[in-house]
């Protein structure tokens, strides 16, 4: 298979992003996270700042937690009042993710990429998680919060990721059935998580 895409969903502080970067470096392929927003901005002509602001609007919306806007792939035209709606901004991100999967090997973190690419035969999906102590310790290394503040922040961030995923996919973010691999970084560590991903990739695609 010419190009293989690895998607990674992760709990906050679990090290999923770090593992994703390690995998990309080992394979010599691009790594995408928030870069998707820049690429979607270039594709659509919509300001990149609006993509970031859309995420913030969703976080603050009570409707977001009870409603659904399951991704269907349809782009809204520029002459529509909904052209810069959160739904259309997500759809443009999805368009970029699909284009990447069709043209190159890469690692994509977050952005519901596993769902968007669920029918692509060249995609493997990974969920990285860890125990609360591991996540807290890693998060404290990068932030100047009290332990209690950080515990609340981690819980809030993971809840948002779960809500975001449910809103756009109709699925539960932490349901193991939706992923090819689920890895506990607190038991394996970064290096072994990377090795497991590479081993699965080799078995499945080579």
Choice between 141 and 202, residue whose per-residue pLDDT is larger: 202
Per-domain residue ranges for the chain? 5-199
Average pLDDT over residues 153-164: 90
The Cα–Cα gap between 74 and 42 comes to 18
Average pLDDT over residues 16-21: 96
Residue 79 has pLDDT above 90, yes or no: no
| pLDDT of res. 168 | 87
> What percentage of residues in the chain have a pLDDT greater than 90?
61
Choice between 71 and 180, residue whose per-residue pLDDT is larger: 180
CB contact at 8 A, 12 and 135: yes
| pLDDT of res. 73 | 67
Instruction: Kindly indicate whether the domain formed by 5-199 is annotated with CATH number 3.30.700.30.
Output: no
13: β partners: none
pLDDT digits 0-9 by tens, 103-135 = 999 999 999 999 999 999 999 999 999 999 999
Residue 6 has pLDDT above 60, yes or no: yes
Reported confidence tier of residue 55, pLDDT bands at 50, 70, 90? low
């Amino acid at each position: 298979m010419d190009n293989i895409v690895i998607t990674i969903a992760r709990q906050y502080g679990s090290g999923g992003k770090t593992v994703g970067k390690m995998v990309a470096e080992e394979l010599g392929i691009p790594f995408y996270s928030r870069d998707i927003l820049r690429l979607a901005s270039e594709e659509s002509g919509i300001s990149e700042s609006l993509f970031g602001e859309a995420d913030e609007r969703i976080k603050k919306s009570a409707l977001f937690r009870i409603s659904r806007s399951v991704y269907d792939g349809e782009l809204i035209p520029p002459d529509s009042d909904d052209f810069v709606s959160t739904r259309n901004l997500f759809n443009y991100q999805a368009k970029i993710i699909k284009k990447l999967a069709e043209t190159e090997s890469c690692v994509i973190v977050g952005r519901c990429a596993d769902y968007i690419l669920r029918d692509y035969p060249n995609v493997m999906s990974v969920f990285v998680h860890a125990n609360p102590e591991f996540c807290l310790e890693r998060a404290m290394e990068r932030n100047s919060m009290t332990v209690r503040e950080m515990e609340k922040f981690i819980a809030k961030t993971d809840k948002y990721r779960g809500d975001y995923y449910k809103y756009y996919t109709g699925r539960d973010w932490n349901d193991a059935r939706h992923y090819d691999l689920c890895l506990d970084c607190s038991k394996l560590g970064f290096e072994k998580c990377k090795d497991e991903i590479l081993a699965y990739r080799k078995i499945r695609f080579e």
